Amino acid sequence: MEILAFGVQADERPLIEEAFAGHAAVHSLEVFLSEDTAPIAAGHEIVSTSVNADLGAGVLEILAAGGTRMVAQRSTGFNNIDLAAAERLGLTVARVSYYSPYAVAEFAWTLAMAVNRRIVRAATRTRDFDFRLDGLMGRDLHGRTAGILGTGKIGEAFARIAHGFGMRLLGWDVAENPACRELGMTYVPKDDLLAAADLVTLHVPLMPETQHLIDARALKAMRDDAILVNSSRGGLIDTAALVEELRAGRFTGAGLDVYEAEAGLFFLDKSLEAIADDTLARLVTFPNVLVSSHQAYYTEDAVRQIVDATLANVLDYRAGRRSENVLVPRAT
């Protein structure tokens, strides 16, 4: 059995080869799956994809025509997949429903602290042997309020760290998490959370109901000195609206590991190209904004779990089994 894996990072490749050894041959590609690259998959029954793959109807049709019967996505989110088209084409689709929540929660905290304590600006200065402290003043987070939108496994992990800082916890979710309640979290309406929180962090999936969850209205409801962190999905924030608020001098800062138009940019070297995305270009110029390239999940522990789950999905497909990871079951 040979599997074609798209969008494989250099650090990820040996972990994939190690996990799949003895089960299947994996041909790893750095290129991401798109309409241009989909024809490469011809003759491969199983294709594995990364989070930023284009799995719209057009790409799925190319895959199906080339003989692909299973798509194993190496991520939890699946907003990039046209599931209805996959079912129509008889394609089995599986994802990774769980991996280390600590990887993402810890990185979200890394962004929050880096923004709060001006770490990027400080590091840039000291590299130039400028050791002044002007403009580097942060705030104690102890005793302040963390607002957590989405209190599932990752939100809970973030809340536990916030609790360790001695922060007051506010939560918003469609279902309350008893473990967060035990930490002292109070669940409140979204607008109340935004109005009270010194630190707002997003840990909800991207779906039609959460698209631009943080829109212009929500941003205006936030405190002028708040910190906004997003390590979930870029589409949760209306980036153009965020830029307008930042231009007006609002917010201590923002830490963004994701961006709503990141496909075709993130995970790629664009350093020698002109970036046509004016919103992103403006966003990264703010001294109080830190943008990273969708790396919150990227720890050895989490990637190993993702790879192991992907292998299990492939083996389940071959054996005709169905697990909680299956989004579109194997056609009978």
Catalytic residues: 233, 262, 294
Residue 20 belongs to what H/E stretch? helix 13-20
Quote the DSSP letter at residue 164.
Answer: H
Is the alpha carbon torsion for 155, 161, 163, 165 positive or negative?
A: negative
User: Residue 109: how many CB atoms within 10 A of its CB?
Assistant: 23
Angle, CA of 119, 124 and 232, to the nearest 5°:
45
Is the alpha carbon torsion for 300, 306, 309, 310 positive or negative?
A: negative
Helix (H, G, I), strand (E, B) or coil at 201: strand
Contact 111/231 with Cβ under 8 angstroms? yes
Residue 182, Cβ density class (10 Å: 0-12 exposed, 13-18 middle, ≥19 buried): exposed
Read off φ and ψ for residue 203, nearest 5 degrees. Answer: -140, 50
